């Protein structure tokens, strides 16, 4: 066999040769990109954030304001129980219910995408792609403006608060992404598993519940947790619609303290730290579960 110039033999020209790309270097979407980035952050990241906040006095004093950085920190400590108890816990509550609703309908939508019924399968794919590729803030605005503030059922008036609208608005993109997780996990199971169960006269329902889903359930846990971390970090956009969560209450607290510029870094720095402290363990656990449930080839 003759030598291949530039690969198995000496190159005849100085032109570069494109070598095959290894599997580890292929370009593709990473379902755990956010969790992977967050989990790879060094352990001293929160302390570096805290140090940056504590170095803010240099700027505060340089402005020559009567309201010092010490006053700003004292104001933050006075408001901190309210910000955590009525603010951040509300962010967690919104993320929990949005994830719950999105998961339930996302699983159903994911099953619909693999349905043998062509109209149902095509409709599910269109719905998934529509909500998966729509801006979250736009969906929130549409839901806020489209849903009424109250509904009447059998003579009873039921109020629909803004946070419930935010839950429904955030659950729509989560539903679409969970549907993709379910569809991808089911289709990642080798076709031999389907054929073997079909040869045993299993119905399609028995194939899914007894053969396919037990194999792909572990594969869905890490990306599912990754999307919960993304959803939690996205809940502050609800503040643009008047939902009283951490960022909204932080702005109200700063307005109550006469909107001094020195308040910006302590209050928003505290919001950054508390979100990081909540999402960082989730990211670490996601990466650990990914390594544990990884498919060994």
| pLDDT 10s digits, 31-66 | 666 666 666 666 666 666 666 655 655 544 445 457
Q: What is the pLDDT of residue 51?
A: 64
Q: Which range among 22-31, 53-62, 138-147, 151-160 shows the weakest confidence by mean pLDDT?
A: 22-31
- pLDDT average, residue stretch 54-80: 68
pLDDT at 207: 81
Q: Tell me the pLDDT band of 11, cut-offs 50, 70 and 90.
A: low
- For residues 27 and 97, the model is more confident at 97
The terminus-to-terminus CA distance of the chain in angstroms comes to: 33
Name the more confident of 33 and 280: 280
Nearest to 167 by CA among 97, 241, 67: 97
- Report the share of the chain in percent with pLDDT over 70: 76
Between residues 3 and 133, which one has the greater pLDDT? 133
CATH class given for the domain over 66-145+159-292: mainly alpha
Give me the phi and psi of 224, to 5 degrees please.
-65, -45
Give just the sign of the alpha carbon dihedral 137, 139, 144, 146: positive
3 state DSSP class of 295: coil
Residue-wise pLDDT for 171-224, tens only, equals 999 999 999 999 988 888 877 877 788 788 788 788 888 888 888 887 888 888
Q: Specify the pLDDT at position 60.
A: 46
What pTM does this model have?
A: 0.75
Average pLDDT over residues 130-141: 91
- Write down the mean pLDDT value for the chain: 79
Least confident of 148-152, 166-170, 176-180, 234-238: 148-152
Mean pLDDT of 20-25: 44
Q: What is the pLDDT of residue 172?
A: 93
Q: What is the mean pLDDT of residues 279-294?
A: 78
- Give the residue with greater pLDDT, 115 vs 33: 115
Break the chain into its structural domains and give their ranges.
66-145+159-292
Q: How far apart are CA 220 and CA 103, in angstroms?
A: 11
pLDDT in tens, 255-265: 888 888 878 88
pLDDT surpasses 80 at 13: no
pLDDT: is 8 or 26 the higher one? 8
d(C-alpha 292, C-alpha 295), whole Å: 9
Rounded Cα–Cα distance for residues 283 and 33 (Å): 10
Residue 6: predicted pLDDT: 52
Q: What percent of the chain has pLDDT over 90?
A: 21
Q: What is the per-residue pLDDT for 33?
A: 63
Q: Report d(CA 61, CA 67) in Å as an integer.
A: 9
Strand boundaries in the chain, DSSP class E: 150-153, 156-159
So what's the pLDDT on residue 28? 45
| Nearest C-alpha neighbor of 169 from the set 126, 138, 195 | 138
Of 229, 137, 114, 124, which is closest to residue 176 (Cα–Cα)?
A: 124
């Amino acid at each position: 066999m003759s030598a291949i110039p530039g690969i198995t033999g000496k190159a005849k020209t100085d032109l570069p040769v494109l070598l095959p790309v290894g599997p580890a270097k292929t370009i593709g979407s990473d379902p755990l990109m956010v969790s992977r980035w967050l989990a790879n952050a060094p352990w001293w990241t929160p302390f570096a954030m805290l140090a940056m906040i504590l170095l803010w006095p240099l700027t505060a004093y340089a402005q020559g304001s009567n309201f010092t950085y010490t006053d700003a920190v004292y104001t933050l400590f006075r408001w901190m129980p309210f910000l955590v108890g009525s603010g951040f816990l509300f962010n967690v509550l919104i993320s929990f219910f949005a994830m719950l609703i999105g998961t339930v309908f996302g699983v159903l939508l994911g099953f619909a995408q693999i349905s043998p019924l062509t109209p149902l399968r095509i409709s599910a794919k269109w719905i998934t792609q529509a909500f998966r590729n729509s801006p979250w803030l736009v969906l929130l605005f549409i839901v806020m403006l489209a849903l009424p503030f109250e509904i009447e059922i059998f003579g009873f008036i039921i109020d629909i608060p803004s946070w419930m609208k935010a839950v429904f608005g955030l659950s729509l993109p989560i539903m679409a992404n969970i549907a993709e997780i379910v569809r991808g996990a089911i289709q990642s199971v080798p076709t031999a598993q389907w054929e073997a169960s079909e040869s045993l006269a299993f119905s399609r329902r028995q194939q899914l519940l007894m053969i396919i889903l037990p194999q792909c359930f572990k594969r869905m846990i890490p990306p599912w947790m990754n999307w919960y971390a993304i959803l939690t970090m996205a809940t502050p956009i609800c503040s643009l619609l008047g939902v009283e969560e951490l960022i909204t209450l932080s702005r109200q607290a700063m307005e109550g303290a006469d909107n001094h510029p020195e308040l910006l870094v302590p209050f928003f720095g505290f919001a950054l730290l508390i979100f990081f402290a909540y999402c960082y363990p989730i990211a670490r656990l996601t990466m650990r579960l990914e390594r544990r449930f990884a498919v060994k080839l």
